A and B are shown apart, each in its own frame.
Chain A
Amino acid sequence: MPETPIAEALFAAAGDVLETMFFSPVVGEATPEAPPSEPALTARLSFSGGRSGSFAVRVSAGAADTITANFLGEEIDVPEPGQVRDVICELANMICGSVLSRLDREAHFDLQHPEVVETCGASPPGAVCRIFDLENGQVALCLQLDPAA
């Protein structure tokens, strides 16, 4: 699958999910040469069905706290680490589902449960990655599709 439709789906899904469900609108797309410099949290899941592959969301620490507080609607400055992990996994699940639905509305996909993973930030081979600026941080998305059978 060409990179452009995937990149477009990543952009559309990120904007839609982050604004509608997490009240954290995307304010622009960052260049891959400028990765988040602050600590970040990564959630990853694999999927199968119409296509198989993996999807990862990497959220800078400041943005992760804001996204969590917005999602839970709690008047807290610093959410509990467990809450942040849970919400970032939910974010990964929602954006992945939204991306795959945009790429193929007819196919059926099974999404595994997202897990928070340790990562050095390197994207998997063949993955299409995009970084988006939020008001107080960044969200990086990487979609890796296995070769079509």
Chain B
Amino acid sequence: MAYRVMIVDDSRSMRAFVRRVMDLSGFEVESCDYAANGAEALALLNQQPVDIILTDINMPEMNGEDFVRQLAQVDGLRSIPVVVISTDATENRIRRMLELGAKGYVVKPFSPEALRAELERVLELENA
């Protein structure tokens, strides 16, 4: 099954890397939208929902925490699973993002296999 994906990261290079790693891992992508911060992502999602969102935390304008928090308040969008991708491996941060509504968390650096495993785990949870 192929999925509609959104990658939210202020780094163009990181967005390209995540997209490439999904291909390398064998994760099937039907379409991929990109946003540079949470505000841009919310605007895009209102036009075209996706199956799963991958987001950074540290972004200008609207960071990942505010994005996940606001997403959870929007009817029709709150059900979209969010996987956080971050360099921050501290337990407090991971717990906080999950409490805000994120369903998964991948710490950089990560392998293609690790990313795919987390995406599939989250999607299986949603479809259970």
What residues of chain A have their CB less than 8 Å away from a CB belonging to chain B?
Answer: 16-17, 20-21, 68, 71-73, 83, 86-87, 89-90, 93-94, 96-98, 101, 104-111, 113
* Count, A-B residue pairs, CB within 8 A: 71
Q: Is B79 an interface residue (CB 8 A)?
A: no
**Which residues of chain A come closer than 8 Å to B70, judged between CB atoms?**
none
> Nearest residue in A to B89 (C-beta to C-beta)?
A101
A101 and B87 contacting across the interface, CB-CB below 8 Å: yes
- Chain A, residue nearest B96 (CB): A108
Contact yes or no, A89 B11, CB < 8 A: yes
Give bound CA distance, A98 to B92, whole Å: 15
Question: Given A16-B109, A97-B86: A106 and B13 within 8 A (CB)?
Answer: no
Indicate if the CB atoms of B87 and A96 lie closer than 8 Å: yes
> CB within 8 Å of A: which of B61-93?
86-93
How far does the Cβ of B16 sit from chain A's closest Cβ, in whole Å? 6
Instruction: Among B60, B88, B107, B108, point to the contact of A109 (Cβ < 8 A).
Output: B88
Distance between Cα atoms of A107 and B108 in the complex (Å):
17
State whether B90 touches A104 (Cβ < 8 A): yes
A109 to B89, CA, bound (A): 10
9 tightest Cβ-Cβ pairs between the two chains A and B: A97-B87, A20-B109, A101-B89, A21-B109, A86-B13, A17-B109, A73-B20, A87-B13, A94-B108
Give Cα distance in the complex from A101 to B107, angstroms: 10
Residue of A nearest to B107 (CB): A101
Whether, in the assembled complex, B121 has its beta carbon less than 8 Å from a beta carbon of chain A, the answer is no
Q: Which residues of B contact A109 (CB under 8 A)?
A: 88, 90
**Which residues from B are CB-within-8-Å of A105?**
89-91
